[in-house]
Amino acid sequence: MAPHDLSSFDLTDKPHINLGLDGIVAFSTKKSFIDGQKGELIYAGYNIDTLAEHATFEEVCFLLWNDRLPTQAELESLQQALLAERTLPKAVIEFIQSCDKDAEPMGVLRSAVSMLSEHDGHDIADTQAATISMTAKMPAMIAAFDRVRRGLEIISPLSNGSTAENFLYMLNGEAPGEAAIKTMDLCLILHAEHGMNASTFVARSIASTMSDIYSAVTGAIGSLKGPLHGGANTAVMNMLLEMQAKGEGLDPVEEVKGKLARKEKIMGFGHRVYKTLDPRAVHLQKMSKQLSEETGHMKLYEWSVAMLETMKSEKNIDANVDFFSATVYYSIGIQPDLYTCIFAMSRVSGWTAHFMEQSDNNRLIRPRALYIADKNLDWTPIEQR
């Protein structure tokens, strides 16, 4: 029997099951709106295209946390607060140094964020302080782990500059160029918030038990890590690199058709809500094209476009945010297994915004499951089983 075939069970109260909570509206929110038919994404009133053109990541953080744009003074005050929280506690640095070189970066990030609840110097119940601290420290954690595993010294954070600039500086140990900073900042803006995705649902569920925000972000990182969610960007890059290893003559159209024939999923495609091109992918494709031209990685970009067209014609499935973000990060020299960490260091803004929104109007999240096994079986002694 298929795992979800309920035909032979007595459904006493005949519930309707929405697998994957598909279509269930469980909350109201001011944080974001998605029109999956039109391909529209709005953060707290502002279209993602408007934010991509005008905002900085820090402005987006303020917007998500306060449901309005900051004044100049408020933005400067937020930037100062983030700057003041960039340095990692000694215990977190020691933990990162103790990690195996082959450890999954998302696992390291999850554990390091979890450690902050004990080593941050803030009261665990001070949600605002913890929010600033995690947003400021996650880039430093990712950069520190990448340097340690490459046998390099951990770099101290910049005492000025944006989140994007500081991350690239701490990763590479040299001042990033304007174009790289702008690319990273735009990626952070595009990944900051996205409705009731799996990791945000985890964060809200943890908030609903009146647990702390460090736990919520730790849980959300664990959820984001999976390849059906944020882990897809790393999976996309690995797929493209595997294709490249087969030789320049590879036909990406046949590659996609072959995968579909074998019922394999193509990472970076499909979405529960979007039934058209993800509006974030539009910006990322533009960036990917431009960077690929600049860095001479045109082959991977051209293959990506051929894959996009083939998925559309074969399955009518569009690319999501993860597809072109992979080649964007690749073009600026970032290791593929860090891509999901970059997603996390942006999405922490959305997770924490939802934690606060849930806490302000809380009801314990507690759905139900339909029991489909036997009841009241006789006990069998262990030697008779």
Binding mask 223-252 for ligand CMC (x = CB under 6 A): -----xxx-x--------------------
Q: Residue from 63, 130, 132, 267 that binds ligand CMC (CB under 6 A)?
A: 267
Residues in the chain: 385
Which DSSP helix (H) or strand (E) runs through 200?
helix 198-208
In the shown chain, the binding pattern of residues 304 to 343 toward ligand CMC, with x for contact by CB under 6 A and - for none, equals -----------x-x--xxx---------------------
- Rounded to the nearest whole angstrom, what is the least distance from the CB of residue 344 to ligand CMC in the complex? 11
* Whole-number Å distance between alpha carbons of 111 and 88: 13
Q: Is 378 among the residues known to form the active site? A: no
Smallest gap, in angstroms, from Cβ of residue 83 to ligand CMC?
29
Residue-by-residue DSSP string for 127-183: HHHHHHHHHHHHHHHHHHHHHHHTT-PPPPPPSSS-HHHHHHHHHHSSPPPHHHHHH
Contact of 352 with 249, CB cutoff 8 Å: no
CB-based contact 32:44 (threshold 8 Å): yes
Residues with Cβ within 8 Å of 304's Cβ and at least 6 positions away in sequence, in order, are 240, 252, 288, 323, 324, 327
Site for ligand CMC in 343-382 (CB under 6 A): none
**Closest by Cα among 345, 338, 355 to 136:** 345
Cα separation, 53 vs 58, whole angstroms: 14
- For residue 270, how far is the Cα from the chain centroid? 16
Question: How many residues in the shown chain lie near ligand CMC by CB under 6 A?
Answer: 19
CB nearer ligand CMC, residue 62 or residue 269: 269
* Candidate residues 9, 11, 15, 20; the one interacting with ligand CMC per rule CB under 6 A: 20
**Cα 171 to Cα 25, 35, 105, 156, 380, distances in angstroms:** 40, 36, 13, 10, 59
For ligand CMC, the binding residue among 27, 57, 167, 269 (CB under 6 A) is 269
Options 107, 222, 270, 336; binder of ligand CMC; rule CB under 6 A: 270
Contact call for residue 298 and ligand CMC (CB under 6 A): no
- Closest contact distance (angstroms) between CB of 261 and ligand CMC is 11
Are the CB atoms for 324 and 284 separated by under 8 Å? Answer: yes
Asked if 149 and 306 count as a contact pair (C-beta separation under 8 A), the reply is no
Kindly identify the residues of this chain, within the stretch 181-200, that bind ligand CMC according to CB under 6 A. 197
User: Which span sits near ligand CMC by CB under 6 A: 115-123, 130-138, 262-270, 294-302?
Assistant: 262-270
Active site residue 322: yes
Among 119, 122, 272, 312, binds ligand CMC (CB under 6 A): 272
- Active-site residue among 194, 271, 283, 354? 271
Take residue 129 and report the two structure tokens written for it. 């302080």
List active site positions.
Answer: 271, 322
Applying CB under 6 A, the residues found at the interface with ligand CMC are 20, 197, 228-230, 232, 265-272, 315, 317, 320-322
